Amino acid sequence: MKMVMAVVQDKDSPRLAQNLVKAGVRATKLASTGGFLHAGNTTFMIGTEEDRLEEVLDIIRQSCRSREQVVTPMAPMGNQMESFIPYPVSVQVGGATVFVLDVERFEHF
């Protein structure tokens, strides 16, 4: 048994949750903030048998992979001057930081 701790961006969290459920992988979400991914994030705590570990990591990779996204920044608060011209910029979103830990014992009461 392994425990997978995966820190992912909030925006990827529903997709990852859905894909884990679809694969019959059980997980719980821990509320988390800041840190690894420079944005609102969620930590998934996933328990998996060793022989499904690669599959679980694939699901995380595919649900959360780092990618470019074009966003148009908002005018800064209080800055309503005509001088602000918003133009789209490309930012990197997604990504996951994943730790795999060994589980010595697993119980289900």
Contacts with a copy of itself by CB under 8 A lie at 1-3, 5, 7, 17, 26-37, 41, 43, 45, 47, 57, 60-61, 64-66, 94-109
Q: Which residues does 70 contact at the CB level (< 8 Å), separation at least 6? A: 88, 89, 90, 91
Q: Between 84 and 106, name the residue whose CB sits nearer to a copy of itself.
A: 106
- Of 3-11, 25-33, 83-91, 92-100, the window that binds Ni ion (rule: CB under 5 A) is 92-100
Q: Find the Cα–Cα–Cα–Cα dihedral 75, 38, 93, 6, rounded to 10°.
A: -150
Let me know: does 97 contact 6? Beta carbons within 8 Å.
yes
Minimum CB separation of residue 81 from a copy of itself in Å reads 32
